[in-house]
Amino acid sequence: MWDFLAFIPPQASTAAAPIDMLALFITAVTVFFSLLIALAILYFAIKYRRGNKVDRSNPPHEGIVIETLWTLIPFGIVMVMFVWSTTLYFSSVRAPKEAMEIYVVGKQWMWKMQHPQGRWEMNELHVPVGRPVKLTMTSEDVAHAFFVPAFRLKMDVYPGRYTQLWFTPTKVGTFHLFCAEFCGTNHSGMVGSVIVMEPEDYQQWLNTGNVPMTMASQGEALFRQHGCSGCHSPNSSLRAPLLEGIYGKPVPVQIPRGGVPLERVESTTIIADDRYIHDSIVLPEKEIAAGFRPIMPTFRGRLSEEEVMKLVAYIKSLSGGGNAGPNQGAGVNPAGGPMERRPATGPVTREEIQTRTGFTPGNMGDITTASEATPERGPAFRGQGTNPGGGVMGEGGIIRDPVRNDPAAPRNQGTGTGANGTTPGGAATGGTATGNGRTPQ
């Protein structure tokens, strides 16, 4: 039905036709009113041209009726557009649950796509036709935007956060992929193609070429390699939240406020989604699992966004891909949810963190100060799962310990520039871990 408009790009997603329809409506209104005004001007300019003998008596100076009319009619028309466009937008703003996920990292000036099954590609995105696809996107450097004109969709891609774009391709073929947000010198070279394939071709494609391991297994390897398992495992001697089953679930967290001791910060819950896991890895001071000491080192600058995505995929796989399955690892406390109970034995020293993770983290100052402080009674915000007596063997042979928080210990400094040596406590400033692509001058 769109053939009469030859200049319209191909419609290759479910979003395209409704958007074209709305755009066509607005264009029709545009053309109608532009012509109306242009013709009125021409008509008047000819009829009432100087010297033409026409009736010019009593030109109206104002007219309440007509002015109200041409206020209300345009208002009515734009409200039709508003309602139409907003309903259309809201009907498709959330990705369907069954959408297959693909991870996208933009960097100057290329796109890297990572399929969960393991295959990755540069500046090309292969997707099956007829199936909703959800892209989880982030950037290594500046802002980009993922734009596929044939899908009529676009979403900005930012460093340090995840954005999502979903679509259902409807047409097999190769379509333009553009970066739409100006991103520096070779912005116009940050282009590629989206290749929509028949589902069976896609399956075949997925299993050929570079398929080292699934993203989750790659993430698991990273989880060990970077020492995450040193704390986040049932057998660890350090008290850190277990990660099995948390994905997609509400988790209690404390969001530190400057100058307020952590134990006085009330806990709140947020959904443990991709963003939460990402931020917990690179900005661990931002939201602290409630009841735990802020001893997580930051991995900012030590992990690329791609690696973080693999870790996210791994943690997600621990929950059976978003739904907490029954196969939770040993040691989950059935009473208190997945984040309870982890032993902590004494203060965490630099050496200990170093042994566990293999590096001196950027927020080392915070970590050591917090942990070396005198143990106090924990806050009462989460009774379940913590033993107020302290140091008692709990079920499953795990030592419980009251939450320790030192009111005198400086909290993390908000922006997390732990590398600037502003943190007291004589800790290493960890200059290697600033994670800034460019060294500060």
Contacting range for another protein; rule: CB under 8 A; set: 187-195, 211-219, 232-240, 311-319: 187-195
At 158, which amino acid appears?
Answer: Y
Find out whether 308 and 228 touch, Cβ atoms under 8 Å. Answer: no
Does 209 engage in binding with another protein (CB under 8 A)?
Answer: no
Does 2 engage in binding with another protein (CB under 8 A)?
Answer: no
Options 4, 7, 235, 330; binder of another protein; rule CB under 8 A? 7
Does 176 engage in binding with another protein (CB under 8 A)?
Answer: yes
Q: Report strand pairing: 144-148 vs 120-122.
A: unpaired
Contacting range for another protein; rule: CB under 8 A; set: 146-154, 231-239, 351-359, 363-371: 146-154
Rounded to a whole number of angstroms, the CA Rg of the chain reads 29
**How far is residue 342's CA from residue 234's CA, in Å, rounded to a whole number?**
8
Does 255 engage in binding with another protein (CB under 8 A)?
Answer: no
Q: How far is the CB of 171 from another protein (least distance, A)?
A: 15
Closest CA to 332 of 346, 312, 318: 318
Is the bond into 109 cis (omega within 30 degrees of 0)? Answer: yes
**How far is residue 292's CA from residue 295's CA, in Å, rounded to a whole number?**
8
Site string for another protein, 20-39 (x = CB under 8 A): --xx--xx-xx--xx--xx-
Binding positions for another protein, 268-327, rule CB under 8 A: 283, 300-301
Place of tokens 């443990």: 272
**How far is residue 257's CA from residue 355's CA, in Å, rounded to a whole number?**
30
Binding positions for another protein, 91-130, rule CB under 8 A: 93, 108
Find out whether 116 and 124 touch, Cβ atoms under 8 Å. Answer: no
The length of the chain, given as a count of residues:
441
Closer to another protein by CB, 220 or 305: give it: 305
Q: How far is the CB of 435 from another protein (least distance, A)?
A: 6
Find out whether 285 and 256 touch, Cβ atoms under 8 Å. Answer: yes
Does 149 engage in binding with another protein (CB under 8 A)?
Answer: yes
Contacting range for another protein; rule: CB under 8 A; set: 16-24, 119-127, 331-339, 375-383: 16-24
Binding positions for another protein, 329-348, rule CB under 8 A: none
Closer to another protein by CB, 187 or 350: give it: 187
Does 258 engage in binding with another protein (CB under 8 A)?
Answer: no
Q: What angle do CA 415, 416, 418 make, to 5 degrees?
A: 135
Does 179 engage in binding with another protein (CB under 8 A)?
Answer: yes
Exposed (0-12), middle (13-18) or buried (19+): which is 300, by Cβ within 10 Å?
A: buried
Find out whether 364 and 307 touch, Cβ atoms under 8 Å. Answer: no
**How far is residue 268's CA from residue 381's CA, in Å, rounded to a whole number?**
10
Binding positions for another protein, 57-86, rule CB under 8 A: 57-63, 66-67, 70-71, 74-75, 78-79, 81-82, 84-86
**Starting from the edge strand earliest in sequence, which strands make up the sheet with 144-148, in order?**
124-128, 192-197, 173-179, 144-148, 153-157
Site string for another protein, 385-414 (x = CB under 8 A): -----------------------------x
Q: How far is the CB of 358 from another protein (least distance, A)?
A: 22
Options 110, 123, 132, 159; binder of another protein; rule CB under 8 A? 159
